[in-house]
Structure 1
Amino acid sequence: MRAVSTTLGALGLLLCVPSTLALPSDVYAAFTRPAQGWDAETTINFPNTTGFDEATERWNTLDQPTFRMAITPAVEEDVARAVRIAKAWKLPFLATGGRHSSTTTLGKLQNGLAIDLSALNSVQVDADSETLTVGGGAVFGDIPGPVYEAGFQMPIGSCACPGMVGATVGGGLGRWQGVDGLIIDNLLSVRMVTANGRLIDVSETSHPDLFWAIRGAAPNFGIITSATYRLRPLTNGGEVFSADFVLPASANASYFDLLQSLEGTMPPELATMSIIVYNETLAAPQISLNWIYLGSEERGRELVAPIFALNPISHNITMARYDTITGTAMGGGGYSICDTVSLAGFGVSYRRLDAETYRHVFRMLSDWYVEYPDGRTSSVEIEIFAPQAVMEVGSTDTAYPWRDTLGYTGISFSGTSPETQEAGVEMGKVVRAAFAETGGYDGLATYVSYGHGDERLSEVFGENAPRLVELKKKWDPENVFRYFFSLATTPI
């Protein structure tokens, strides 16, 4: 289709309109009539236009939603306006920031409205009040620079591209959590569009029941247009010890013993990430790992000394700053992981570190690489983050329940053939079950942001699931926010 651009009078609303509209004419008119009063910088785009592609492109292309129209609001009032119109015309919609999720439930949205928050990407540090306020479209990569320059830190994820707010509301785990807690533990308030299209302030003192719910399950309750966080003083002056290693397959058993030894002994400043991947050059699996220590180089080297004893293939040790660690750790993997993928993702959380489980998974993945050579981009990532500051908050104090988790595993299976893709989904479930069996929880426990989409509510929200279901009835009785582990339709 050929795209043309025009403006709606003095409003200046830019429309990128294809020659044939996919929307019914009355729905199209409801969004584009001048009387709606859109901000001059708000844009509406339709399929087969560059603007539409930019507003809807996702990190993971597997099981993704589809859209008839995309709106990129320039102001938060236009987010609320879009919700009201979409709801009135029964047009399903999804709001996104970084669009970095791989949860399959999002694929249930077909031919809907994309509300692209990327223009709401402000990052403001208030040094006097020691707070950070970000727009709903800001991503992790936007955060460390301004925060560090003001003399602070706050927990963020290890990748640059996920949306800050989107990652927050699932819980917000990461390398800093042993010292500063989860990201939700630093969340002070949000501006939010509710299911009836109202824009409200939500905090401990304003709609406290909703504030409890959004700290773990926000996609079920509304669209967050901005969020304010508490900042923390820099640990070790903002200097971070970072150690990358690549271990051969022969070292896996000893390394996994080392990981198990962290249970009950891990200092709050330590975070480890280990990825089982395939090395095409060696034609064998390997373990790529990064250990972060928020402290001195001397103490950091003491902590990683046992890894040197395993004769790594390669290593790189550096002292980095808080604002550069995303581009330093794991050979800059915090940016390279932002490249578009097509994978089946699974997640599992556990409070026991079991070396034999790790070895079992390593063997299964090694066999997988032999049987499915076109699936050698598949990987299993083992994240072990210190729990001390996370456990200072009770398991029912926020909607996020898994406060005593030590390990988080991200499971990614992909392949170039349909047969490998299908087999990868089944293998992902097998690997997930192996971790859950020895993980110390009563069944599967999943960090919602790592969820596949087939989990029950109790496997995602634990004992908090029933309370969330009741709050859903209050705040979104028509279930308009239903595409991310719907509290109204997913079994408990």
Structure 2
Amino acid sequence: MQLASVLYYLASCALAQAGSALNSRGNELNGILTSAQWSSGTTLSFPGSESFTSSTERWTIFEAPTYAAAIKPATEADVVQAVNLATANGIPFLATGGRHGYTTTLGAIQNGLAIDLSHFGTVLVDKAAGTLTIGAGVRFRDIYDPVFDAGFEIQTGTASCPGMIGLTLGAGVGPWNGVHGLLIDALVSLRVVTANGTIVEASKDRNPDLFWALRGAGANFGIVTYATYKLQRQVNQGQIFSGDFVIPAEQNGPYFRLLEAYDGGRLSDKLSISTFMSYNLSTGVPQITANWAYLGPVEEGYEALAPVLNLKPIIGGLRVYPWNTFIRTVAGGADAYLCLDGQLRDIYTVNARNISASTYQIVFRKMSAFFDKYPTARASTIRIAMLPNQATLAVPDDETAYPWRDTLAYIDIILSWDGTNCAAAVKAGAESLGRAVRDDLAATSGYPTLAVYVNSAHGDESLESIYGASKLQRLSALKKDWDPTNVFAFNNALPIRYP
């Protein structure tokens, strides 16, 4: 009893000290922010208010940052002032558009300042120039209709809710890599608030080294307030033929061997294949679901989908979608579920340039055993996004900082569980599975070591796995030039020297 009392007392003291630190930082930030002069549209908020929750709620709450205050700036000048005040007072901060960044390194921000860029909602299509200019608060769903109605397309990512600029800075992969390439390849220019509080433009003609670094490692170099992209004319008048399928668990072998058949450059530039290992709560068994999407005429689409149709899967739907509705409505509107905020999601990722049926079968068995052992984690899933890379590879590797242009499959291990029922044990099991499956997939990925897409990085990977050894020396030199004091230190931070 005495030991228990001592432990309770120590825990209570620790909690009290943590609360005191939070209150101290909150009072400090309150005084700093409220004493400054801001534009009329800029708002400040603090914990306990609805506006604070609106400015800080995240897509995933796993290993999340915490904040003592939030600012929603209305102007670039206010972004600059927020950065200057934070750096001058040693306050960690994070600027966000959609708040979908989920690397665990963001959790190092405790009692920091949230800079909510949602006021930067500009969406401007210049039909004559064939360009799109957006603000940092724009999400993908905001650009679908304006771009489509003007007769254009652009790479879109795989969900409607992430901030478009944030996703772009990591590379911006999506189902149309084969035709439209990466989002970084469409970039014309960026406006950036740098670590020293200045606003610069980055493009091929202005600050070209910074422009190179921003395209693949952008979170390390500043806050992008506006971006301009080159649009592309619609393919097939913007019509996409799509099939949704359910593959029973016992058919996993033939299906994974079919995926392997597309290895070695055999995936059409117009065909993307997204495969999910999940648990069907209605039937009570693990399953495989898939979406096959073809950016072309229906006749060609049926030919492209013939191999999966020959497996006689359960067909959830075969139909044509216009480009501007595809992401939001495909797979029965699964995007709405995928975009739910405030969920516990622990994510590991692997890039692969080879497809291995035997590895996928092993992973499926491990995932099935995990579902059996941890029923509260049955919302977890593994997504294998096979994205054609013809247009991506057409851009020289040294054109941008992104190192993995030859990736064919982007694989995300998305682990989610009920945080109230034996949560510690489930978390331990999930983390063990995540690392084991990541190792399995990396071993047959075709890369000599683990390679990961920076936007999906868990946060425990090496710098080489995230940024590529061939890019790191130049990146670190540019980090030293543009952010020598490591102001932007929380999103898989680069060093200022390498090796």
TM-score after normalising by structure 1: 0.93
Is 1:139 the counterpart of 2:142? The answer is: no
Aligned residue type for 1:282:
T
How big is the shift at 1:22?
5.0
In structure 1, the partner of 2:477 is 470
Aligned residue type for 1:42:
T
Structure 1 pair 276–61 and aligned structure 2 pair: CA distance change class (3 A): same
Residue 346 of structure 1: SS of its match in structure 2? strand
Aligned residue type for 1:468:
L
How big is the shift at 1:27?
4.4
Residue 363 of structure 2: SS of its match in structure 1? helix
Matches within 5 A, 1:318-467: 318-340=319-341, 341-416=343-418, 417-462=423-468, 463-467=470-474
366-375 or 266-275, larger mean C-alpha shift: 366-375
Structure 1 pair 140–22 and aligned structure 2 pair: CA distance change class (3 A): farther
Aligned residue type for 1:482:
A
Q: Would you say the 8 A contact 1:242–1:293 is kept in 2?
A: yes
Aligned residue type for 1:454:
D
Distance 2:53 2:384 in 1: 33
Is 1:292 the counterpart of 2:293? The answer is: yes
Number of corresponding residues? 471
128-137 or 461-470, larger mean C-alpha shift: 461-470
Matches within 5 A, 1:141-290: 141-263=141-263, 264-290=265-291
Distance 2:497 2:159 in 1: 29
In structure 2, the partner of 1:302 is 303
Aligned residue type for 1:265:
R
Q: Would you say the 8 A contact 2:476–2:497 is kept in 1?
A: no
Tell me the C-alpha RMSD between the 2 structures.
Answer: 1.5
Q: Which runs of 5+ in 2 are unaligned?
A: 1-21
In structure 2, the partner of 1:17 is none
Deviations 1:199-245 (Å, cap 9, x if unpaired)? 11111111111000000111111000010000000000111111111
Q: Would you say the 8 A contact 1:456–1:491 is kept in 2?
A: no
Deviations 1:246-290 (Å, cap 9, x if unpaired)? 111011111111111112211111111000000122211111111
Aligned residue type for 2:348:
F
Aligned residue type for 2:391:
A
Q: Would you say the 8 A contact 2:473–2:497 is kept in 1?
A: no
Structure 1 pair 431–26 and aligned structure 2 pair: CA distance change class (3 A): closer
Sequence identity percentage: 43
Q: Would you say the 8 A contact 1:180–1:389 is kept in 2?
A: yes
Q: Which runs of 5+ in 1 are unaligned?
A: 1-19
Q: Would you say the 8 A contact 2:192–2:225 is kept in 1?
A: yes
Distance 1:155 1:24 in 2: 41
How big is the shift at 1:26?
5.6
Distance 2:497 2:490 in 1: 11
Distance 1:58 1:26 in 2: 24
Residue 265 of structure 1: SS of its match in structure 2? coil
Q: 1:488 aligns with which of 487, 490, 495?
A: 495
Aligned residue type for 1:438:
T
Q: Would you say the 8 A contact 2:476–2:496 is kept in 1?
A: no
Distance 2:350 2:166 in 1: 19
Q: Would you say the 8 A contact 1:456–1:490 is kept in 2?
A: no
Aligned residue type for 2:267:
M
How big is the shift at 1:491?
8.7
Structure 1 stretches of 4+ with a deviation exceeding 6 A read: 489-492
How big is the shift at 1:490?
11
Structure 1 pair 350–244 and aligned structure 2 pair: CA distance change class (3 A): same
Deviations 1:6-60 (Å, cap 9, x if unpaired)? xxxxxxxxxxxxxx96546564333222xx4311010000000000000000010
How big is the shift at 1:313?
2.8
Distance 2:192 2:37 in 1: 20
Distance 2:231 2:279 in 1: 39
How big is the shift at 1:339?
0.8
Aligned residue type for 1:357:
T
Q: Would you say the 8 A contact 1:159–1:333 is kept in 2?
A: no
Distance 2:303 2:136 in 1: 40
Residue 319 of structure 2: SS of its match in structure 1? strand
Aligned residue type for 1:344:
D
Residue 390 of structure 2: SS of its match in structure 1? coil
Residue 228 of structure 1: SS of its match in structure 2? strand
Deviations 1:118-172 (Å, cap 9, x if unpaired)? 1111111000110000000100111111000111000011211100000000000
Distance 1:77 1:126 in 2: 26
Distance 1:22 1:73 in 2: 24
51-60 or 258-267, larger mean C-alpha shift: 258-267
Residue 339 of structure 1: SS of its match in structure 2? coil
How big is the shift at 1:415?
2.1
In structure 2, the partner of 1:5 is none
Aligned residue type for 1:244:
D
52-61 or 197-206, larger mean C-alpha shift: 197-206
Structure 1 pair 491–228 and aligned structure 2 pair: CA distance change class (3 A): same
In structure 1, the partner of 2:17 is none
Q: Would you say the 8 A contact 1:326–1:334 is kept in 2?
A: yes
Distance 2:487 2:329 in 1: 41
Aligned residue type for 1:258:
L
Q: Would you say the 8 A contact 1:278–1:285 is kept in 2?
A: yes
Matches within 5 A, 1:109-124: 109-124=109-124
Distance 1:26 1:101 in 2: 27
Q: Would you say the 8 A contact 1:125–1:133 is kept in 2?
A: yes
Residue 98 of structure 1: SS of its match in structure 2? coil
TM-score after normalising by structure 2: 0.92
Distance 2:481 2:55 in 1: 31
In structure 1, the partner of 2:70 is 70
Structure 1 pair 300–395 and aligned structure 2 pair: CA distance change class (3 A): same
How big is the shift at 1:396?
2.4
Q: Would you say the 8 A contact 1:457–1:490 is kept in 2?
A: no
Q: Would you say the 8 A contact 2:479–2:496 is kept in 1?
A: no
Q: Would you say the 8 A contact 2:477–2:496 is kept in 1?
A: no
396-405 or 161-170, larger mean C-alpha shift: 396-405
Deviations 1:76-120 (Å, cap 9, x if unpaired)? 221111101111111110001101122100000000000001111
Q: Would you say the 8 A contact 2:26–2:68 is kept in 1?
A: no
Residue 291 of structure 2: SS of its match in structure 1? strand
In structure 2, the partner of 1:99 is 99
Distance 2:179 2:112 in 1: 41
